Structure formats: C-alpha cells, structure tokens
Amino acid sequence: LSQLISAAQHAPEKLVIGTSGASGSSEHIAILNLNRLTGVTFTPAFFGSTAPVRQAILGGHVPAATMNLSEALQLARDGQIRVLGLMADKRADYLPNAPTFREQNIDLIAGASRGIAAPKGTPPEVVKALEKALAGVIADPDYLAAAQKAEIPLNYLNAAEYRTLIDRISADLSDTWKVTPWR
C-alpha cells in the first residue's frame, strides 16, 4: 500500500484504481477518501460491476482495484491478486494475513453497510424489540452457517452503535465532498 501511494505521489493523477461501482458508490467514495487522507490523487475507473473490474486487474489493465472482500477472496487465495489492505477496523477472519489500512497508518474504514431504520420518534421499547429480533437473527445457527459458507463477514451493531457508524460515515462523506465533490 505504501508503494502504491508513493507511486501516486510521483505521478499525480496518473494512477488508476478500478472500481466495480459507479460514481458515488462505496468503492468510489473509498478512493476519494484515500485521496483525501493521503494527499494523492488516484483516478477512478468505473467498471460498473464485479466481473469487468476483476478482468481489468487480472489482465493488468489497472494497477489496483477496490472490491468487496467476498469478491477478492478467491483471487487472493489463488495468488492471482495481492490484497494491499482492508478498509476495515480489524483483519478479516477469511483473509487473516491481509493488513488493514489502519495498521498501515491510514485511518480509512470504508465499505457498504446494511441497516434497518425506523421513523424518528419510534418509541424506545419498539427499538429495543427490533434490536432483540435482529440480534436473534444474527445469532441463529443456520444463518451463521450460511454466512460462513458464503464467507460474508457479519458485524451486528445495536441502534446506538449503528448511529455512531452512520455519524462517522456522514462526517467522512462531508469532509470528502468539501475536497472532491463527486457527480
């Protein structure tokens, strides 16, 4: 990762990072956040879906790409790609040798998050009931087995924890928008 950033410093705006997303996608925003946090400018190449970006990285058409972990796992295990870093708060159980960006002194956590929202003013007892139901689902042995088989990382957050995550994401988006508004 440090070599990629160094290369970008020596060739401003010349290094391309492929992304399976479109402008404004989590992958694109991750590139913009990386630019903001490192002071370099990688140029995103939008491939629109996973298969084309995988072909681009494997074919040497782009020097790097952002992908969901589940999309990169088998390629990394087969030695076809090298994961430079995970934009996560901790290493992934499915790829324990891949360091996080934070371990490499870049405070970048990015990716897609799924959550359930309730209208403002929802009574606290309803929120607690929803939390309890979701915690039950995430602890269900059949659900856990299916997620493990598909190698999908799970990270349940209660309402307060998820609010903190959303607030952090919103602050990051705002900071990045000020530097590089995307369209």
86-130 confidence digits (pLDDT tens):
999 899 988 999 999 999 999 998 887 888 889 999 999 999 999
Q: How much is the mean pLDDT over the chain? A: 92
Q: Are 20 and 69 in contact (CB under 8 A)?
A: no
Q: Are 4 and 84 in contact (CB under 8 A)?
A: yes
What pTM does this model have? 0.82
Closest CA to 86 of 74, 77, 70, 78: 70
The CATH number given to whatever domain includes residue 26 is: 3.40.190.10
Q: Is the pLDDT of residue 39 over 80?
A: yes
Indicate the SS3 state at residue 150: coil
Averaged pLDDT, 44-71: 93
12-29 confidence digits (pLDDT tens):
889 999 998 888 888 999
Determine the pLDDT at residue 60: 95
In a domain, 74, yes or no: yes
In a domain, 28, yes or no: yes
> How many domains would you assign to the chain?
1
